[in-house]
Structure 1
Amino acid sequence: MDMVKTTEYARALYTAQGPKAEAEIARKIQDCKDKGQDAEAQDWQAVRRAIISMRGPHQG
């Protein structure tokens, strides 16, 4: 997933779910890893990093 798509997805997910978005992403990352879908897990990691960046420091 490219950076623009990652940022758009992260923004939409965070807008829809707020702070719960990170927990949902963590579940998705683990699910992908359990299924051996490493590339998809990396995409979710990128989305998670984008959300962390949007939140700013010391928020969670």
Structure 2
Amino acid sequence: MDAMKASEIAHALYRVRGGRAEYEAAQREQEFTSAGNEEEAEYWRAIRGSIRRIRGANES
């Protein structure tokens, strides 16, 4: 997994979706987990974590 790419996607998703970005990343993570694609689920987990950090920085 490329952490830099995950961070870029997280920032883009947060710019477009705002407060819904983390929810959408969680949905994608769940979809891939349910499909048995753990590698892709882990990628979306990282994106979700990045969004959480972005939100924390913006809310302080």
* Normalised TM-score (structure 1): 0.88
Of Structure 1 and Structure 2, the greater helix share is in 2
Q: Which runs of 5+ in 2 are unaligned?
A: none
* Normalised TM-score (structure 2): 0.88
Aligned residues: 58
The percent identity for this pair of structures is 40
Q: Which runs of 5+ in 1 are unaligned?
A: none
Deviating beyond 3 angstroms after TM superposition, the runs of 4 or more aligned structure 1 residues are none
Structure 1 equivalent of residue 28 of structure 2: 28
Cα-Cα RMSD: 1.2
Partners of 1:24 and 1:55 in 2: CA distance = 14
